Amino acid sequence: MKSLIGPDSDIYKSFFDFNHNASYALDSEGNFILVNDAAVDATGYEKEEILQMSFVSIMQEDCIDRAFHYFNSTLKGNRHSFDISIKHKRGHRVDLYITTIPIWRDGHIKGIGGIVKEMTESYKLETLFSGQNFVLEMIAKGSPFSDVLDRINYLVESVTKGACSILLTDETGTFLKHGSSPSLPLEYSNYIKRVPIGPKVGSCGTSAYFKRRIIVTDIASDPLWNDYKHNALKHGLRACWSSPVYDTDQQVIGVFGIYFDQANAPKEGDLQIIERATYLTSLAIQHYRAVEKINFMAFHDDLTGLPNRRLFNQRVNQAIEREVKDPKKGLALLFIDLDRFKLINDSLGHGVGDQLLREVGGTLQSCIRKQDIVARQGGDEFTILLDEVSKQQIISTSQAILEKLSQPFFICGHEIFITPSIGISLYPPDGVDAEELIRKADIAMYKVKHEGRNNFKFYEPIFDNKTNDRLELENELRKALDKEEFILHYQPIIDLSTDKLAGVEALIRWIHPQHGQVPPDHFIPIAEDTGMIVKIGEWVLRTACEHWNNLKKRGILLPTISVNISIRQFYQPNLISMIASILKETNMEPKHLTIEITESMTMDVERALTILNHLKCLGVNISIDDFGTGYSSLSYLKAFPIDFLKIDKSFIRDMPKSKGDENIATTILLMARNLGLSVIAEGVETAEQLEVLRRFECGRAQGYLFSRPLATEPLEKFLFQQKLGLMKTS
């Protein structure tokens, strides 16, 4: 023994003998050669007895293999800390926490030394609290979530001799998914990757279901494990204690479980350990879920859940980098804008509009492959990245989007139709980064809108000039009202039963000082997009009423002037007061004013009905323009206080040649007659069209066959030439 201890043995022996922790030394054969008084107290044996024994003789049988493992490893020069159990001289089990070190002498390991702490309940809690600080430090430093959960499990295992697991609730709240189980057999860990939450689903599934601790002391006989015990027992798992993990709202976000290799019931101290473990697990889960949510919100749209512009741009640039390193088929970027979305949002409300955007987002996702990405740019704009695609695949995807979005959406009792305009840019010809590709696709999308919408188009360099022209036009449009560049033309409406003038429709014209007359289909969409249509529309109404009053002063009394109002005007809170004010200012009698709205404005039946009733209270007439092209339900038509239906010119144009268009037009005529409404046919240009309309007793018509839209002076000449005797009309 002396040769083992060395020349400074007196000093070391003092530290050894007076250490309050049990200490011992073993020779290379595993025999005790030195113990202190604390070791005597821990084992119950006298010192002389222990020095005649090997460490194996006091080990619990289920710990002998582990004890040999650490003994042999320490003899090879390793240092270990581990928990183990011995048999006290009186026969009871004593749980210990041991640190072993090799004893060197003359360059060789001659034995091992050990320092022992008894695993009392207070020591277990002390160990748990100490380890908790390390876990919290890991969380603060942003260690991987899985590492933190593993550390919690290892910590609890060090004071319970069990094998721990942490399961997390899934998004639906119906299953538990695997979080961490580093000490459980791999096959069993895979088995518990998806555990149902239910009243008889082992310990963990049942704990989550009833939201309380479930202690199963014997898996083989407990009915909660009837359907699951086979897998547990074959891996040597005999008991399982489970406790739900709550968030601050007392919702179950996971389950902490401890498995044992023999039937086992918890002591009071064990329950305290479980409580502390679930609390620590709760802190970890909530922290990482909050971080995950923040990260998700930073890169995803909060309305649709789709990637946002920031994440989309990153993905596009990453795809470009891959393409540069390994050129393949190339990339395509689709920029999608929903046609008429503002109309739906304004008429049916933002709640319906938001739900529509969510459903459109889901529809777009169903049109792409796994490697592609769809994102929301903002508003009603979406972008799609198609990775490694041929031109034919791009076309097929675009056609699929057009087809799927053409199907009606049913939201809050409304049947809604929406169409997309799709612009497409390609890498590498159209741009070298996300920003440039998005800009080019956006330009192509506007080209689609200008040419009729509900289509797709690839970017072409010539589009850039037209985009610049649009921006210039928008800037000029903002100044046009102040510069008095707008004028009104009036298109006569003829009563087909008398061939006399029944009224006129006021149509705005923009006379640009440099570009001359700008077609309405060039600037009206810009005015609607920018909101300028509200001021412009008010100017049209006031100017038309002033013209009517001026004509009256000169002895010409027009039966009616029709004025179109936009969707934005229709839902302006001051619409009724604005019209009433203009009528009063211009001394125009309300019965001579017809307000024209489009069929699509009536999608929100309740709001539309309220506004229309207020208009009727003013005494004005109401006409539904472009009838037959919208999507409102005909069943509501009889509820609206309207006077006229205007058949859209698209049906009139091919009516003599198309039986389908003729059937639509005649159906509208018959329906209107049954509802007591007058019908006005738009776009009448030929005698053949007029003949069909007369045959089916259409009341009124307008179009180039009768007259083009006329400025004020030509209109006056037209009225006199008609010799309609309007001076006496009241």
Least confident of 44-53, 81-90, 147-156, 240-249: 81-90
What was the pLDDT predicted at 628? 62
Which residues make Cβ contacts (< 8 Å) with residue 461, sequence separation at least 6? none
How far is Cα 526 from Cα 470, in angstroms, rounded to an integer?
8
Find the mean pLDDT for residues 600-611. 82
Least confident of 38-42, 284-288, 366-370, 375-379: 38-42
| Residue 321 reports pLDDT greater than 50 | yes
Residues whose CB falls within 8 Å of the CB of residue 379, separated by 6 or more in sequence, listed in order = 341
2-118 and 123-298: identical CATH topology: yes
Rounded Cα distance, 600 and 630, in Å: 5
Cα gap 225→538, rounded to integer Å: 75
Q: Which residue reads 């000449």 in tokens? A: 717
Q: Is 519 exposed, middle or buried (0-12, 13-18, 19+ CB in 10 A)?
A: exposed
Contact 279, 241 (CB under 8 A): no
Model confidence pLDDT, tens digit, residues 226-241: 999 999 999 999 999 9
CATH number, span 123-298 = 3.30.450.40
2-118 topology per CATH: Beta-Lactamase (3.30.450)
- Which of 95, 25, 23, 111 is closest to 63 using CA atoms? 95
Q: Which CATH class is domain 309-460?
A: alpha beta
| pTM of this structure | 0.54
pLDDT tens digits, residue range 255-312?
999 999 889 899 877 888 889 899 999 999 999 988 888 888 888 998 999 999 999 9
Residue where the block lists tokens 């400074």: 8
Query: Could you tell me the residue ranges of all domains in the chain?
Result: 2-118, 123-298, 309-460, 474-722
DSSP SS3 for 300 = strand
Task: Report the distance separating Cα 494 and Cα 513, nearest Å.
Answer: 34
> Contact at 8 Å (CB) between 584 and 623?
no
> Phi, psi (5° rounding) for residue 118?
-75, 135
Largest CA distance in the chain: 140
pLDDT at 203 over 50: yes
Burial class (CB in 10 A: 0-12, 13-18, 19+), 437: buried
Backbone phi and psi for residue 7, each to the nearest 5 degrees, phi listed first: -65, -25
Mean pLDDT, range 356-364, rounded to an integer: 95
**Domain spanning 474-722, CATH architecture:** Alpha-Beta Barrel (3.20)
